[in-house]
Structure 1
């Protein structure tokens, strides 16, 4: 009898030890401090899911400024990814530098089995994205792309209403994203420098905000690629954005629907909103929390229901909790989830075609 009790106690202890080990914080390295979104991790309250163990940044003045603002020690800052990996052995890395460097991050981390999350978009070009995808698959790492709109409960509600058939078959989607422009809203000099560099950012507003619509449409259409992509760009603030576009319109055609993406650095008021039109009604995701559902009545009448939504449930309420949950195997992303690699490869194909269309004045056909 004692033997069985001893075995049972050992089993319980092993189970508890395993459970506790699984809950150890994910050791996260941060590569780059020039992206304005880096404040999300630097100012994040200490939690059990993720712990920042190292930072890579060659601009010591920038690192010192952010160190004083957010309280991390300069001893955490390294000059190269290799130095950081050797010193602190991160399990995952978050990229917060320019978009061009996303490929180099994956090239360094993937062979070492280190998972990667980058800020949107996935890459500066489809060519870079394909290399990143190949490395992620070869070395079996998670490669996520963080979009702020992935956290929006209104987008999730709109998706659910559409796919339940509430407004009938999909006919048109309009996605509008942007603000007054990087310089006008006062981003840091370091952030401005790469946002307005066609090599480091892949383009201007067409990439910076066009990626949101491409990502959402790929999710809404569950991986179905558009038949064609047509894009027009303008430069309405040459004094602020001399090397890149700052206004774009992208038209995507599908067999029975159309999408119009309107990324811009010329909106007088910052926005991230979406309108979805079906045969019987429309859904307006006005912002993160406010959604309107209208069902058609007669010619121009409608019955309206208004939703005021709270935050999404964890871990889908912010990117680092989700990254940790995915790495631990607690969360398996649904197919074509906005964070997923399969979604973002199609999103990059759309963006690549949009840039080509804007430069050539031609509609670009997409092969499914």
Structure 2
């Protein structure tokens, strides 16, 4: 009896450990998406064991300061990792800084989730991918649109549309300064090196990511793009409006990425020979398939872990789910995204269609 009781107690202890919140390190605090961590911290869904910030101005002055003890904030990324031993790190600094995070975390076997896009350049992305593969860590990319039930519904109904021939993806808002983004965010978001570009990167990545997912990881044959500065006085260093056309041979993808929309949007149209779907909001869709109108409808939220970036990261790190190469958060998908954005910038400079590198 004692033997069986011991086994039961050991199993329960194991389950208790497994059920503990994910131990997270935070790399950077200048990304305004950091606010997304606050509810998860307050609800005890994640355990932030350490926070690193390179800029001394923000180590003690950021959104996490009121929620965490002072001794959890570090000016050295390596020290934070070695003292706190997180299961994973989430990156909330500049896109250029993602490379530094991977260089520090990968050799220590620490998994990583960065905010979109994966990297500021193909060169950075290639080094990051090589490190992740060498050390066997997850390197995921977080997009708001991954958690949209409307996008999951589009993917589910894709086969009913017949042969696809066009996808149109529109993302953006009135502009980061116009909507009140913080100065610490704007410092790098509007820098061509630290962010990799303007609207073409900030919002062009969504369309590239969704197209790669919907088309099962395929890469376009050609990329053509037009980048504009409609507000040069506001954004003198980078583009604020981008049109990207991806040519897959049988499918054309139009990506409209802008800091000039009169109203914020993240919507998509998918066209096949037998029907079309309009993904209108995070949870609203409509369409027409094989002569039948699909009236506008609201969809329920996705079930965990596909409804939340931190739950998804936890499930991936702890082996509860597997991630396909074409999935929106996957390394392979996001390498393609970076290559598409690179091609778009090269096309805009030359005025010609270009191939991926």
Range class of TM-score, shorter chain: over 0.9
Deviation at 1:133, TM superposition (A): 0.5
CA drift of 1:69 comes to 6.9
Query: What is the SS of the residue equivalent to 1:192?
Result: helix
Residue in 1 aligned with 2:20?
A: 24
Matched, 1:338 2:332: no
For the residue of structure 2 that corresponds to 1:365, the secondary structure is coil
CA contact (8 A) 2:168 2:254 kept: yes
Partner residue, 2:340: 350
C-alpha distance in structure 1 between counterparts of 2:63 and 2:250, whole Å: 52
Aligned equivalent of 2:253, options 256, 259, 282:
259
Q: Structure 2 residue aligned with 1:277, among 262, 271, 281?
A: 271
Secondary structure (helix, strand or coil) at the match of 2:98 reads helix
In the alignment, is the contact (CA less than 8 A) between 1:56 and 1:81 conserved in 2? yes
Q: Distance in 2 between matches of 1:175 and 1:364?
A: 20
Residues 40, 46 of structure 2: 8 Å contact kept: no
> Which residue does the alignment assign to 1:221?
215
- 1:101-116 to structure 2, matched below 5 A, reads 101-116=97-112
Give the alignment's TM-score, normalised by structure 2.
0.96
Name the CA distance, whole Å, in 2 between partners of 1:252 and 1:194: 27
Residue 234 of structure 1 aligns with which residue?
228
Contact 1:43 1:70 (C-alpha < 8 Å) held by counterparts: no
Which secondary structure state, in structure 2, belongs to the residue aligned with residue 199 of structure 1?
coil
Residue in 1 that maps onto 2:195? 201
Aligned with 1:100: secondary structure? coil
Query: Does the CA-based 8 Å contact 1:23-1:48 persist in structure 2?
Result: no
Match of 2:96, SS state, is helix
Q: Distance in 1 between matches of 2:116 and 2:201?
A: 9
Measured after TM superposition, the shift of residue 340 of structure 1 is 0.8
RMSD of equivalent CA atoms = 1.7
SS at match of 2:35: helix
Partner of 1:317: 307
Q: Aligned to 1:338, what secondary structure does the other structure show? A: coil
Q: Secondary structure at the match of 2:307?
A: coil
- Per the TM alignment, residue 330 of structure 1 is displaced from its structure 2 partner at its CA by 0.7
Report the equivalent of 2:351: 361
Instruction: Mark the CA change 1:44 to 1:70 in structure 2 (over 3 Å): closer, same or farther.
Output: farther
- Matches of 2:216 and 2:195, distance apart in 1: 27
**Partners in 2 of 1:337 and 1:172 — Cα distance?**
20
Q: 1:244 aligns with which of 238, 242, 246?
A: 238
5+ residue gaps, structure 1? none
Residues in 2 aligned to 1:54 and 1:180: alpha-carbon distance in whole angstroms: 34
Question: How many Å separate the matches in 2 of 1:40 and 1:69?
Answer: 14
Determine the structure 2 residue equivalent to 1:152: 148
Aligned to 1:210: 204
1:329 to 301, 319, 327: 319
1:29-66 deviation digits (Å, cap 9, x = unpaired): 11111101011113424456521111112434434343
Offset, 1:16:
2.0
1:117, CA displacement in angstroms?
0.5
**287, 293, 302: which one pairs with 2:287?**
293
SS in 1 for 2:193: helix
Taking the aligned partners of 1:68 and 1:91, their CA distance within structure 2 comes to 19
